[in-house]
Amino acid sequence: MGILTKVISASPIENLKLLELAGESAEGVIYPRLKFDPTKPTEIYKKFAKVFKDKYGISPGIAAAYSYDAASLLLYSIELGGIKGEQIQKIMSKVRNYEGVTRFFSFDENGDAIRETELFIVKNRKFVPLKIN
């Protein structure tokens, strides 16, 4: 299509199928990713990955890990506060340093997640940290 501008995306772009389908067109795509590195797994992540692989026959991708954390935190909040939206929000707004498979996170009083992120870029058909000078 002749688009020459930088493309900025969200972290679910980090998928090997993207590199396979988009090929050279994916080069230079920039996206934020939580400071979570499955190549340096925690014990919690190792347990999650083993159960996932045993059940589905493949290693979990980053989206599976994020989804697992979201569902776990939702169930945790329901257990502590109830099933209504305002009850869940009240519990989540008090969460500090919740340790999930994608590391630690907290929420502020507005319900926004507080997580460390870093920028990545597609370079030579790989997802690599973006070095900003």
Phi and psi at 116, nearest 5°, equal -80, 135
pTM for the predicted model, two decimal places: 0.67
Residue 113's pLDDT is 83
pLDDT of residue 93 exceeding 90, the answer is no
The whole-number average pLDDT for the span 80-89 is 82
Residues 6+ apart with CB under 8 A from 72: 100
pLDDT digits (tens, 9 = 90+) for 6-56: 777 776 678 788 889 988 888 888 888 877 777 788 899 999 999 999 999
pLDDT mean across residues, the chain: 85
